[in-house]
Amino acid sequence: MAQDTYMMNYEKWLESPALSDADREELALIRDDDQEIRERFTQMLSFGTAGLRGIMRAGLNGMNVYMVRLATQGLAELIIEETGGMVHSTNDVPASVAIAYDSRNNSPAFAEEAACVLAANGIRAYLFESLRPTPELSFALRETGSIAGINITASHNTKEYNGYKAYWSDGAQCAPEQASKVAEVMHRIDIFKDVKTMDYQAAVDDGRIVLMGEAMDEKYMTQVLAQSVGAEYVKKAADDLKIIYTPFHGTGYILVPEVLQRLGMKHIITVPEQMVIDGDFPTVKSPNPEYREGFDLAVELAKKNNVDLIIGTDPDGDRCGVVVRDGDEYKTFTGNQIGVLLLDYLIRARKEQGTLADDSVAVKSVVSTTMADRICEVQGVEIMNVLTGFKYIGEKIKEFEENGGHTFLFGFEESMGYLTGSYARDKDAVVASMLIAEMACYYYLQGKTLADAINELYATYGYYREKVVSFVFEGLDGQEKMKKIMEDLREHAPAEIGSKVLRVRDFSTGVITDLATGETSETGLPKSNILFYDLADKGTAIIRPSGTEPKIKFYIMAAGDSVEEADAKVAAIEAAGAALLG
Is there a catalytic annotation at residue 155?
yes
Q: How many CA atoms lie within 13 A of 500 on its CB side?
A: 6
Chain-centre distance for alpha carbon 261 = 26
Dist. CA 97–CA 142, nearest whole Å: 10
Length of the chain: 582
> Which residue among the candidates 103, 107, 155, 360 is catalytic per the annotation?
155
Identify whether the C-beta of residue 316 lies closer than 8 Å to the C-beta of residue 134. yes
DSSP states of 248-282: TTSTHHHHHHHHHHHHT--EEEE-GGGSS--TT-T
Look at residue 498 and give its three-state secondary structure.
coil
DSSP label at residue 464: E
Dist. CA 103–CA 281, nearest whole Å: 9
Q: How many CA atoms lie within 13 A of 251 on its CB side?
A: 34
Dist. CA 452–CA 339, nearest whole Å: 16
Angle between helices 429-444 and 450-461 (to 10 degrees): 90
Look at residue 548 and give its three-state secondary structure.
coil
3-state secondary structure 305-342: HCCCEEEEECCCCCEEEEEEEECCEEEECCHHHHHHHH
Q: Point out the residues that are catalytic.
A: 155
